[in-house]
Protein backbone atom coordinates (compact mmCIF):
# COMPACT_ATOMS: atom_id res chain seq x y z
CA UNK A 1 0.00 0.00 0.00
CA UNK A 2 2.76 2.38 -1.00
CA UNK A 3 4.31 2.62 2.42
CA UNK A 4 1.14 3.46 4.32
CA UNK A 5 1.21 1.71 7.67
CA UNK A 6 -1.74 3.15 9.51
CA UNK A 7 -4.84 5.24 9.26
CA UNK A 8 -5.14 7.93 11.87
CA UNK A 9 -8.53 9.45 12.52
CA UNK A 10 -8.72 13.22 12.79
CA UNK A 11 -11.87 14.22 14.61
CA UNK A 12 -11.42 17.98 14.30
CA UNK A 13 -12.49 20.33 11.56
CA UNK A 14 -10.94 19.57 8.16
CA UNK A 15 -11.28 22.87 6.29
CA UNK A 16 -11.83 26.54 6.98
CA UNK A 17 -15.30 27.63 7.97
CA UNK A 18 -16.98 30.09 5.62
CA UNK A 19 -18.28 32.91 7.80
CA UNK A 20 -21.99 32.68 8.43
CA UNK A 21 -24.20 35.19 6.73
CA UNK A 22 -25.15 38.05 9.01
Number of residues that bind other proteins (CB under 8 A): 20
Smallest distance from other proteins to CB 22, Å? 10
| Cα dist from 8 to 1, 14, 17, 18, 19, whole Å | 15, 14, 23, 26, 29
Q: Between 1 and 22, how does the x/- string for binding to other proteins read (CB under 8 A)?
A: -xxxxxxxxxxxxxxxxxxxx-
| Cα dist from 9 to 20, 21, 22, whole Å | 27, 31, 33
Q: Using CB under 8 A as the criterion, which residues of the chain lie in contact with other proteins when the complex forms?
A: 2-21
Amino acid sequence: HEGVVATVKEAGRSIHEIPREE
